[in-house]
Amino acid sequence: MKKVIVIGCPGSGKSVFSRALHEITGLPLYHLDLIRWREDKTFLPREELIERINEIGATDEWIIDGNYGATMELRMSLCDTIVFLDFPTEVCLDGIMSRSGKARPDMPWIETGNEPDTEFIESVRNYNSVNRPVVLERIKKFPGKNVFIFGSRKESDAFLESLKRKSLKAENHTGLFGKKVKVTVDRPLGSRHPHHPETEYTVNYGYVEGVIAPDGEEQDAYILGADKPVSEFEGIIIAVIHRNNDAEDKWIVAPEGVSFTKEEIEAAVHFQERYFDSSVIMPVSEEGNAVIHPIPPVYDKNSKILILGSFPSVKSRETGFFYGHRQNRFWRVIAGIYGEKTPDTIEAKKEMLLRHCIALWDVIKSCEISGSADSSIKNAVPNDIDIIIKSSRINAVFTNGRKADALYKKYLESKTGITAVCLPSTSPANASKSAESLIEEWKIIRNG
């Protein structure tokens, strides 16, 4: 479950469900209403909306909530999981009335406190007789998807609670890493699955005697680093395969001192894990559960303004430089402010920043974080900002988004003595802001 769409009648609570799913999984969340509607209550042309959806769909992980029938089949084709909140009409009508007059993170404006217009209410009353059959037929067109249809809030809440328990279970795996275990091999390299002979074991596979897994059987383990069939193997637990749709997880055991990347592990176990919704859990650092900021700051003695984010995304940590997600608008915004072409290499990005006397870093040095979700950050340790302040001419600080601003105020403002200016986030999740509007609002940095 990495690419999810959430659909259902207006008032069913799609955005509330999606935010909860985002909090649990760390998957980036995109509200279709924020993408489609502008603050002046005009909306994107259909072609631009389709282009935006395709851009999001091309990324590795996301949640998109919203209906809009004209793009529903497109979103279904791009996703791996469909969640349909198939609630009674009365529940949806109550949902609409309860949200009226309240600020909503999924809409670019506050709906009035007056009763919604009669035409809209009538469309909700007719949804289950008119729209629901169409949605169900569309779902049938995509038989390879994971489909969850919930008939009540109780069912959808139970699903979220189940995911939360599994998420906590995954977090608890960290105590396993580095333990030495002996694996008894009952399915050696080259053998076939006893019940599914079409599946050949491309690694040795067995169980750890005396360790009982949640399915009541002894704990299973994949063995990596043994290039011939073996009957038993002693090694170190280096990772865990966490199955979202199975009671038991699988251990990854390798020779002591031998390591494998997440991608190498995924490739090695694909022959069997392709039949499950699974992910690889690995120790993230040598310091407990903390993820360490891997990117050094960009600055020199001439730097006058400092731009701070919160913490690098997964993609930025993979690429080794700030704002590495191709949908993040940061580099396009900075280039747009100065009327330049968007740089496409790390060196060109550094050169542009330094030429305009801009220093760039993040507030947090290390933290526990789920994926790239800022909202999941906990146990944060701030960066030593004096490294930059004492070696440059910084006189202004700007934060990229509200989370970075809150973290700066909490950890660094008292050290710098500079009140930061909070700028709208360049993240693709801030879909209500176009690149052009971001450029206009970010032009204030030229006064720093």
- Please check whether residue 438 is in contact with residue 431, taking contact to mean a CB–CB distance below 8 angstroms: no
Starting at the edge strand found earlier in the chain, the sheet holding 291-292 runs 291-292, 364-368, 378-382
What average pLDDT score do residues 316-321 get?
Answer: 84
| Rounded Cα gap, residues 109 and 383, in angstroms | 36
Determine the number of helices (DSSP H) and then strands (DSSP E) in the chain. Answer: 15, 18
Which helix (H) or strand (E) segment holds residue 62: the answer is strand 62-65
Q: How would CATH label the architecture of 3-170? A: 3-Layer(aba) Sandwich (3.40)
| Rounded Cα gap, residues 56 and 169, in angstroms | 29
Say if residue 22's pLDDT is above 80: yes
| H-helix segments, 172-285 | 262-273
pLDDT category at 178 given cuts 50, 70, 90 is: confident
Q: What is the pLDDT, as a whole number, of residue 212? A: 83
User: In 3D, which of 428, 289, 431, 300 has the Cα closest to residue 356?
Assistant: 300
Q: What percent of the chain has pLDDT over 70?
A: 92
| Rounded Cα gap, residues 218 and 181, in angstroms | 13
Say if residue 281's pLDDT is above 90: no
pTM: 0.49
pLDDT category at 175 given cuts 50, 70, 90 is: low
DSSP string, 252-289: EEE-TT----HHHHHHHHHHHHTTS-EEEE----SSTT
Q: Which pair of tokens denotes residue 54?
A: 């395709």
User: Given the structure tokens 């280096």, which residue do they identify?
Assistant: 238
Of 13-27, 156-170, 402-416, which range is least confident?
Answer: 156-170
pLDDT category at 114 given cuts 50, 70, 90 is: low
At residue 158, φ and ψ (nearest 5 deg) are -65, -40
pLDDT, averaged across the chain: 87
What average pLDDT score do residues 213-236 get?
Answer: 91
Measured from the Cβ of residue 15, the count of other Cβ atoms closer than 10 Å reads 21
Every domain of the chain and the residues it spans: 3-170, 178-281, 291-447
Residues 6+ apart with CB under 8 A from 58: none
Checking DSSP bridges between strand 3-8 and strand 29-31, what pairing results, if any?
unpaired
CATH number for 291-447: choose from 3.40.470.10, 3.40.50.12780, 1.10.3720.10, 1.10.10.10: 3.40.470.10
Say if residue 3's pLDDT is above 80: yes
Tell me the torsion sign for CA atoms 270, 281, 292, 298.
Answer: positive
pLDDT category at 110 given cuts 50, 70, 90 is: low
User: Given the structure tokens 């063995």, which residue do they identify?
Assistant: 223
Q: How far is CA 406 from CA 359, 420, 421, in A?
A: 19, 10, 11
Under CATH, what is the fold of the domain 178-281?
Answer: Inorganic Pyrophosphatase (3.90.80)
Comparing 135 with 113, the larger pLDDT belongs to 135
- Cβ-based burial of 245 (10 A; exposed 0-12, middle 13-18, buried ≥19): exposed
Comparing 259 with 340, the larger pLDDT belongs to 340
- Please check whether residue 49 is in contact with residue 71, taking contact to mean a CB–CB distance below 8 angstroms: yes
Q: What percent of the chain has pLDDT over 90?
A: 56
